[in-house]
Amino acid sequence: MKFLDLAKVTIRSGSGGNGCVSFRREKYIEFGGPDGGDGGTGGDVWAEVVPALNTLIDFRYQQHFFAGNGVPGMGKQRTGKDGEDIILRVPAGTEILEEDGETVIADLTEEGERVLLAKGGNGGWGNLHFKSSTNQAPRRSNPGQEGVERMIWLRLKLIADAGLAGLPNAGKSTFLAATSNARPKIADYPFTTLHPNLGVVGVDGREFVMADIPGLIEGASEGRGLGDQFLGHIERCSVLLHLVDGTSEDVTEDFRIIDNELKLYSEIVYNKPRIVGLNKIDALTEEEQAERIAALEEVSGARVYPLSAATSSGVMQVLRAIWTEIAAQRAEAAAEEEPEPWRP
């Protein structure tokens, strides 16, 4: 299945059916009176989160979603049939935006969550509604209300507990493959990863979801390389693992490049808890490890974890550090949701 995380679609709710002008005509009934029914209500347009979806690829092949129109009213006080609703089925983590691409209409994160995007038009009244003591035979009815048409953006932000960041060939895909059930493409050339990958990681009997995004390069915020289009997938993460290639000629410069790109993209992402890992230590001597760890700790101001995703050396320590941050944020979120005890 191809990955697609941004789609533009046109939606339109159904128009209401027109009211009917009709009179009762039966043998031996001289004054039948009005009996025109109301028009049916137009269908609504909904967006709903469904399970087993992790891409918006379906919206590449269908960009127009129109709900059904209401059926006009009929004689004998018959109300027209309501128009059928239409549902946009989206994966969890989908943001729905206005046509400007910035104004958020809804942020759907829970399975089964749904939101009304366009309400169908009301059906028009038939002439039966206009009967009164002074107007016994009204010959008027209301037209149905027009439906609503709008253009919206669907933007998917994968829901993960931890996210991987780093330059191309920093070993992010190897780390994800070594620690989870994901099987991303791994090769010895840059930009092997062309779309985000998710994996479930287990550590000490606990599980969390990790996201790997394509590597960033200097100038990604200006559109170089693959740009920063995939950084939205780590906006929901509790913690970031910033991997630095230990075999690089200048590990501090590699760190600064990613650090700067995260800052230029979003203060929210930049200020997330971050764990720094020096990868590929299996290719370094002990002296080189110590030198590069010290340099990274100085530039990052944080502890640096040495590891090798290829040999699994130091990986468990990194996973435990990641879980510590995730557990702390989950506990904080649970405390905020817990209602205050009632006091008389």
Is 79 assigned to a binding site? Answer: no
Residue 167, annotated ligand binder?
yes
| Buried/exposed code over 152-179 (b: 16+ C-beta within 10 A; e: otherwise) | bbbbbbbbbbbbbbbbbbbbbbbbbbbb
Has 55 been labeled as part of a binding site? no
Distance CA(258)–CA(26), nearest Å, equals 83
- In angstroms, the CA 44 to CA 87 distance is 8
Distance CA 259, CA 256 (A): 5
Q: Has 133 been labeled as part of a binding site?
A: no
Burial 201-218 (b: 16+ CB within 10 A, else e): bebeeeebbbbbbbbbbb
Q: Is residue 217 part of an annotated ligand binding site?
A: no
| 172 is annotated as contributing to ligand binding | yes
**Amino acid occupying residue 183:** R
159 annotated as ligand-binding: no
Residue 3 labeled ligand binder: no
The answer to whether the annotation marks 326 as part of a ligand binding site is no
Q: Is 213 annotated as a binding residue?
A: yes
92 is in an annotated binding site: no
Q: Is 284 annotated as a binding residue?
A: no
Phi then psi for residue 177, to 5 deg, are -65, -35
Instruction: Check whether 191 is labelled as a binding-site residue.
Output: yes
Q: Would you state the structure tokens that stand for residue 150, as one six-digit string?
A: 């709008």
What does the alpha-carbon distance between residue 155 and residue 95 come to, in Å, rounded to a whole number? 5
Tell me whether residue 173 is annotated as binding.
yes
122 assigned binding-site residue: no
- Is residue 143 a known part of a binding site? no
| 282 labelled ligand-binding | yes
Q: Is 339 annotated as a binding residue?
A: no
Residue 66 annotated as part of some ligand binding site: no
On whether 227 is known to bind a ligand per the annotation, the reply is: no
Q: Which residues are annotated as a binding site for Mg(2+)?
A: 173, 193
Q: Which residues are annotated as a binding site?
A: 166-173, 191-195, 212-215, 279-282, 308-310
Q: Which residues are annotated as a binding site for GTP?
A: 166-173, 191-195, 212-215, 279-282, 308-310
